[in-house]
Structure formats: C-alpha cells, structure tokens
C-alpha cells in the first residue's frame, strides 16, 4: 500500500493496468474509426481508465495535435451586465457541442498587447474580445501565435476583425423614434461620462440624432455621470429654462440612468411622463418596478448565436476565413413601451 501522493494517472498507467500498449488506450478512448480493436480489449481499457480515474491531459493533447480546442472569451462581464451574462450560457453550450472549450479570461486591468500576450500563451484556437481591445498590434500578435479566429464583440464593425455587433445607433434610433411617436418634440439623450460607457453612449446618441433628423428634430446631448447630485443638477438646469426650451422626451442611455433620472425628476416635482417622457435600455427587471413603469429598449442576442459559432468553427477548421470588417451576428433590439413615455 504505497502512499505516494498519487500522481495523476496517465494513459501509460491505464495501458499497464489493462495489459495493453499505450497506443491502444489512445485508440479506444478516442475511438478512432481507423483502428480496429477487439471488443474485449476495449472493455478492459475502459474499465482500467475508470478505476484509475484517468482524465486526459489537455496540454499534452494540444501540444501533440497542435490544437488546444480552447475558445477564449475575453469580456469584462461587469459593465456589460445582463446582456452578456445571458449570452454566455448559450455560447458555451454551442461551442461545447462542436468540441470546443469556452473559457473566460477577465484581465480587465491588462491593456492592449499585454493582454493579447497573456491570451496567446494559452494558444487558443479562437479569441472573442471587446472590439476596442483588438488593436492592430494585438490582432497581429494573436494571429502570429496561431489563433485561427479573432472576433470583436460589442461595438460597430471594425476594419481589423470580424465582429459580433451591438448596434448602438439603432438603440438610440428606436428610442428617439418612439418618443417622437408619443408626441415629444424636444428630445434629449444622456451620454454617460464614465469612460467605457461614453463611447456606447455616443453611438446611441448618433442613432437618436439620425432618427430625429429624419423627422425634422434635433437631439440635445446631456453628459451625465452616474450620480444623484449630477442628476439633480441636470434637472435643475432644465427647470431654469423657459418651459418651451425644456426637453420633453429623454432617452437616458440605459435603465440604470433612466431610473436615476426618474428619481431626480420626481424629486423636483417634474411629472413623468406628463412633463418629460423617459426611455431606457436593457429592459432590466427593475424597470417594471418604478412608477411609472419604465419604457425600455430590450437588447438580446439571436438564439444560440448560431451565426457566430458556426462562422468561428468554420474559420478554425480553415474552411472559410473570417474577413475583417465582416459582421457575424447582430444583436436584436425591440422597444418595450411602458408608462414612462
């Protein structure tokens, strides 16, 4: 009864116990169609693997085959929130079905090439990362380290990589169009001051502007931090204007900002939607708990995000390369009208 700290079992151990060669173990466990192995032998191998608790060594396999089977998802979950969290499960299942292993790699603190280097060390077959992180140098590094598919996520099309796009402009456009439909004529759109959100805010603003322009209106840009005092100040600033100059329809970037703004408006005695109609984005569960209930643009990915996964898979097996600039999948938007507008 040796009490060695039981080194993990290798395929050689399995072979020894089953009384066959290591190659046979490999044939049986991956059941290669080419190799014909006796039924009895297979059973013995399987049994031996079972009793030893054998688990193949992913590193060794990837070193031998030259493919890690790793799909690296490098998204910062926190800010993106709900949307990404929901997508994750589906994405994981879809990749797993095709034999890949989806792994998430935060590293929000590493920038640019440094992050890319960290990713590249794992030799993933694919990297899916927020588009803004995929600088030219980063993409070059990934490509040269053997990554077969580099996909941007979140922002608009990029000239560097294929992307899965959230069309922020459409979100803004949907919201602005809705506010106009509800009879609002003096529109405003919040742009968050927070770095990392601002870019998306500008995209949404641009969409709102386009929709407004098509209807002969303009959109007032309001930069706002996620802070109660700032919100109160913004509301006070509006109230100090002539009534005819105050916005009467506000797209608040997202539901969080919309709720912030709604509380500031109600505190100041501004009626919602009477004086100001409000629309957010994300369709948070909490959006239904405000009074009035919050109108919101719901953003959701196409079911198992099949387009993306299939395209990545094809690129990995080098059937069809991913073209820079290509849009692999587009997140869907829909306006959920409630009482705040």
Partner DNA sequence: TTGTACGCGTTATCAG
Partner DNA sequence: CTGATAACGCGTACAA
Question: Which parts of this chain interact with a second copy (CB under 8 A)?
Answer: 6-9, 53, 55-60, 62-63, 68, 77-78, 85-86, 88-89, 92-93, 96, 101-109, 117-118, 120-123, 140-141, 144-146, 226, 228, 256, 259-260, 262-263, 266-267, 284-286, 288-291
Stretch that binds DNA, among 5-13, 204-212, 264-272, 333-341 (CB under 7 A): 5-13
**In this chain, which stretch among 30-38, 130-138, 179-187, 221-229 interacts with DNA, using CB under 7 A?**
30-38
**Does residue 68 interact with DNA by CB under 7 A?**
no
Instruction: For a second copy, give the closer residue by CB, 11 or 173.
Output: 11
Residues 6+ apart with CB under 8 A from 193: 223, 224, 225
Residue 132: alpha-carbon gap to chain centroid:
13
Rounded CA separation 143/315 (Å): 12
From 57, 182, 193, 288, residue interacting with DNA (rule: CB under 7 A): 57
* Residue 216 contact, options a second copy, DNA, none, Cβ 5-8 Å cut-off depending on partner type: none
Residue with tokens 């059973």: 43
Q: CB of 268: closest distance to a second copy in angstroms?
A: 12
**Residue number, 70 or 169, with CB nearest to a second copy:** 70
Instruction: Tell me which of DNA, a second copy, none is bound by residue 321, counting a contact when its beta carbon lies within the kind-specific cut-off of 5 to 8 angstroms.
Output: none
Sign of CA dihedral 153, 154, 159, 160: negative
Among 1, 6, 17, 41, interactor with DNA by CB under 7 A? 41
Q: Which of 31, 50, 56, 93 binds DNA (CB under 7 A)?
A: 56
> Cβ of residue 310: shortest distance to a second copy, in angstroms?
20
CB 70 within 8 A of CB 101: yes
Q: How far is the CB of 26 from DNA (least distance, A)?
A: 4
Q: Among candidates 155, 223, 171, which has minimal Cα distance to 334?
A: 171
Binding at 111: pick from a second copy, DNA, none (beta carbon under 5-8 Å per type): none
Q: Are strands 187-192 and 219-224 parallel, antiparallel or unpaired?
A: parallel
User: Where does this chain touch DNA (CB under 7 A) — which range of 60-68, 72-80, 100-108, 110-118?
Assistant: 60-68
Residue from 31, 47, 50, 63 touching DNA (CB under 7 A): that is: 63
Measured in whole angstroms, the distance separating CA 307 from the mean position of its chain's CA atoms is: 14
Sign of CA dihedral 66, 70, 71, 76: negative
Cis peptide before 307 (omega within 30 of 0): no
- Beta strands (DSSP E) in 213-294 are 219-224, 249-251, 277-281
Give dist(CA 222, CA 240) in Å, integer.
15
For the chain, the first-to-last Cα distance in angstroms comes to 75
Q: Is the dihedral of CA 267, 272, 277, 281 positive or negative?
A: positive
Minimum Å gap between C-beta 223 and DNA is: 47
Residues in the site for DNA, rule: CB under 7 A? 7-8, 10-12, 19-24, 26-27, 29-30, 32, 34-38, 40-41, 54-57, 60-61, 63-66
């Amino acid at each position: 009864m040796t009490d060695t700290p039981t080194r993990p079992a290798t395929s050689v151990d399995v072979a020894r116990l089953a009384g066959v060669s290591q190659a046979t173990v490999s044939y049986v466990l991956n059941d290669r169609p080419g190799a014909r192995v006796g039924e009895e032998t297979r059973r013995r191998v399987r049994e031996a693997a079972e009793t030893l608790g054998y688990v193949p060594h992913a590193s060794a396999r990837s070193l031998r085959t030259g493919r890690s089977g790793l799909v690296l998802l490098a998204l910062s979950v926190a800010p993106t929130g709900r949307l990404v969290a929901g997508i994750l499960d589906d994405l994981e299942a879809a990749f797993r079905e095709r034999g890949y292993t989806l792994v998430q790699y935060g590293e929000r603190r590493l920038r640019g090439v440094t992050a890319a280097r960290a990713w590249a060390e794992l030799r993933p077959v694919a990297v899916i990362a927020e588009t803004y992180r995929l600088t030219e140098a980063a993409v070059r590094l990934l490509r040269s380290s053997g990554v077969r598919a580099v996909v941007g996520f979140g922002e608009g099309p990029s000239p560097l990589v294929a992307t899965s796009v959230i069309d922020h402009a459409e979100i803004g456009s949907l919201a602005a169009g809705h506010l106009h439909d509800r009879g609002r004529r003096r529109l405003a759109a919040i742009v968050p001051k927070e770095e990392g959100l601002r870019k998306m805010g500008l995209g949404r603003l641009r969409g709102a502007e386009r929709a407004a322009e098509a209807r002969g209106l303009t959109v007032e840009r309001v930069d706002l931090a996620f802070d109660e005092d700032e919100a109160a100040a913004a509301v006070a600033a509006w109230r100090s204007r002539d009534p005819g100059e105050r916005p009467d329809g506000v797209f608040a970037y997202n539901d969080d900002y919309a709720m912030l703004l709604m509380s500031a408006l109600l505190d100041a005695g501004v009626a919602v939607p009477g004086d100001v109609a409000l629309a957010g984005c994300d369709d948070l569960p909490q959006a239904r708990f405000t009074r009035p209930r919050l109108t919101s643009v719901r953003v959701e990915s196409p079911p198992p995000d099949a387009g993306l996964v299939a395209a990545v898979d094809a690129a990995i097996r080098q059937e069809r390369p991913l073209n820079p600039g290509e849009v692999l999948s587009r997140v869907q938007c829909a306006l959920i009208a409630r009482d705040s507008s």
